[in-house]
Chain A
Amino acid sequence: MQTKDQNSALRNLSALVDFSNVINSSLDIQFAFNNLLLTCLGKFHATRGCILIRGVDNLLNVSSSKGLTQESLNSFPVVKFSDYGSNKEFQAFLKKNRLALTQKIISSDGEIGLLILGERIDGSNYSDDDINFLKTILNIAATAIENARSVEKLKLLNRELDGKVNQLRSLFDLSKEFSGILEKDMIGKLLVFSIIGQLMVSKYAVVICDDVKLEFLENKFQHEKLEPALKDCMPAELKQVLQTDQIINKYSKLFELGVSLIIPMQIKGSTKGLILLGERRSGLKYSETDIEFISSVGSLAIISIENANLFQEAIEKQKLEKDLELARNIQQNLLPNKIPQMKNFEIANINKSAKQVGGDYYDLIKLDENRLLFAIADVSGKGVQAALLMANLQAFLQAVVKQNFPLAEATNLINDLVSGNTTMGSFITFFWGIIDDSNNVLTFVNAGHNPPLLIRKGEITKLKKGGMILGVMETVIPYESETVKLQKDDLLILFTDGITEAMNKNLEEYTDERLEELVKNLEPISAQNTLDEIIDDVNNFTGGAEQSDDITCLVIKNC
Chain B
Amino acid sequence: MADFNVNVRGVGSVSVIDVKGYLDAHTAPQLENAFNQLIDGSKYKVVVNFNDLSYISSAGLGVFMAYVETMRENKGDIKFSNMQDGVYNIFDLLGFPMLYEFYKNENEAIEKFKESISK
Contact with A along B57-87 (1 / 0, CB 8 A): 1111111111011000000000000000000
B39 an interface residue at 8 Å Cβ cutoff? no
Q: How far does the alpha carbon of A284 sit from the alpha carbon of B95 in the complex, in Å? A: 10
Q: How far does the alpha carbon of A201 sit from the alpha carbon of B69 in the complex, in Å? A: 11
A159 an interface residue at 8 Å Cβ cutoff? yes
Q: Which residues of A contact B117 (CB under 8 A)?
A: none
Main secondary structure of the interface of B (DSSP, over half): helix
Q: Which residues of B contact A233 (CB under 8 A)?
A: none
Mark the stretch among B5-13, B21-29, B44-52, B106-114 that contacts chain A. Answer: B21-29
Contact partner, A197, options B26, B29, B58, B69, Cβ 8 Å? B58
* Residues 12-54 (chain B) with a chain A CB within 8 angstroms: 24-26, 28-29, 32
A126 an interface residue at 8 Å Cβ cutoff? no
Contact yes or no, A196 B57, CB < 8 A: no
Given A163-B93, A166-B58, A193:B66 Cβ within 8 A: yes
Given A159-B93, A166-B90, A193-B66, A198:B25 Cβ within 8 A: no
Contact yes or no, B69 A173, CB < 8 A: no
* Residues 520-553 (chain A) with a chain B CB within 8 angstroms: none
A460 CB to closest chain B CB (Å) equals 75
Main secondary structure of the interface of A (DSSP, over half): helix
Q: Which residues of B contact A192 (CB under 8 A)?
A: 62, 66
Q: How far does the alpha carbon of A186 sit from the alpha carbon of B59 in the complex, in Å? A: 12
Number of interface residues, chain B, beta carbon within 8 A: 26
Number of interface residues, chain A, beta carbon within 8 A: 28
A200 an interface residue at 8 Å Cβ cutoff? yes
Number of A-B contacts (CB under 8 A): 92
Q: Which residues of A contact B26 (CB under 8 A)?
A: 176-177
Q: How far does the alpha carbon of A196 sit from the alpha carbon of B32 in the complex, in Å? A: 14
Contact yes or no, A194 B57, CB < 8 A: yes
Contact with B along A175-212 (1 / 0, CB 8 A): 01100000000100110111111111110000000000
Contact yes or no, A282 B95, CB < 8 A: yes
Q: How far does the alpha carbon of A282 sit from the alpha carbon of B65 in the complex, in Å? A: 12
A278 CB to closest chain B CB (Å) equals 11
Q: Which residues of A contact B65 (CB under 8 A)?
A: 193, 196-197, 200-202, 281
Q: Which residues of A contact B98 (CB under 8 A)?
A: 200, 281-282
In the complex, what residue of chain A is closest to B96 when comparing beta carbons?
A200
Q: Which residues of B contact A174 (CB under 8 A)?
A: 25, 59
In the complex, what residue of chain B is closest to A200 when comparing beta carbons?
B95
B2 CB to closest chain A CB (Å) equals 11
A88 an interface residue at 8 Å Cβ cutoff? no
In the complex, what residue of chain B is closest to A174 when comparing beta carbons?
B25
A422 an interface residue at 8 Å Cβ cutoff? no
Given A173-B24, A186-B29, A202-B68, A193:B62 Cβ within 8 A: yes
A130 an interface residue at 8 Å Cβ cutoff? no
Q: How far does the alpha carbon of A194 sit from the alpha carbon of B60 in the complex, in Å? A: 7
Q: Which residues of B contact A163 (CB under 8 A)?
A: 93-94
Q: How far does the alpha carbon of A169 sit from the alpha carbon of B57 in the complex, in Å? A: 8
Contact yes or no, B64 A197, CB < 8 A: yes
A162 an interface residue at 8 Å Cβ cutoff? yes
Q: How far does the alpha carbon of A422 sit from the alpha carbon of B96 in the complex, in Å? A: 68
A335 CB to closest chain B CB (Å) equals 54
In the complex, what residue of chain B is closest to A283 when comparing beta carbons?
B98
Contact yes or no, B93 A166, CB < 8 A: yes
Q: How far does the alpha carbon of A509 sit from the alpha carbon of B95 in the complex, in Å? A: 73
Q: How far does the alpha carbon of A193 sit from the alpha carbon of B94 in the complex, in Å? A: 14
A475 an interface residue at 8 Å Cβ cutoff? no
Contact partner, B59, options A159, A190, A200, Cβ 8 Å? A190
Contact yes or no, A200 B25, CB < 8 A: no
Contact yes or no, B93 A197, CB < 8 A: no
A211 CB to closest chain B CB (Å) equals 31
Q: How far does the alpha carbon of A200 sit from the alpha carbon of B94 in the complex, in Å? A: 7
Q: How far does the alpha carbon of A169 sit from the alpha carbon of B26 in the complex, in Å? A: 13
A370 an interface residue at 8 Å Cβ cutoff? no
Contact yes or no, B95 A193, CB < 8 A: no
Given A186-B29, A195-B62, A202-B68, A173:B57 Cβ within 8 A: yes
B48 CB to closest chain A CB (Å) equals 14
* Residues 137-194 (chain A) with a chain B CB within 8 angstroms: 159, 162-163, 166-167, 169-170, 173-174, 176-177, 186, 189-190, 192-194
In the complex, what residue of chain B is closest to A282 when comparing beta carbons?
B95
Contact yes or no, B25 A194, CB < 8 A: yes
Q: How far does the alpha carbon of A240 sit from the alpha carbon of B90 in the complex, in Å? A: 31
Q: Which residues of B contact A193 (CB under 8 A)?
A: 25, 28, 32, 58-63, 65-66
Contact yes or no, B62 A194, CB < 8 A: yes
In the complex, what residue of chain B is closest to A170 when comparing beta carbons?
B58
In the complex, what residue of chain A is closest to B89 when comparing beta carbons?
A162
A257 CB to closest chain B CB (Å) equals 16
Contact partner, A196, options B66, B89, B90, Cβ 8 Å? B66
Contact yes or no, A189 B29, CB < 8 A: yes
Q: How far does the alpha carbon of A166 sit from the alpha carbon of B62 in the complex, in Å? A: 14
Contact yes or no, B58 A173, CB < 8 A: yes
Given A173-B57, A174-B59, A200:B99 Cβ within 8 A: yes
B107 CB to closest chain A CB (Å) equals 27
Inter-chain pairs besides A163-B94, A170-B58, A196-B62, 4 sampled, C-beta below 8 Å: A170-B57, A193-B60, A196-B66, A281-B99
User: Which 10 interchain pairs have the tightest Cβ spacing?
Assistant: A193-B62, A197-B61, A197-B62, A170-B58, A177-B25, A198-B58, A197-B58, A196-B65, A193-B59, A282-B95
Return 23 A-B CB contacts under 8 Å, by A number.
A162-B89, A162-B93, A166-B58, A166-B93, A169-B57, A173-B24, A177-B25, A192-B66, A193-B25, A193-B58, A193-B59, A193-B61, A193-B63, A195-B58, A195-B62, A197-B57, A197-B64, A198-B58, A200-B65, A200-B98, A201-B65, A202-B66, A202-B68
What residues of chain B have their CB less than 8 Å away from a CB belonging to chain A?
Answer: 24-26, 28-29, 32, 57-66, 68-69, 89-90, 93-96, 98-99
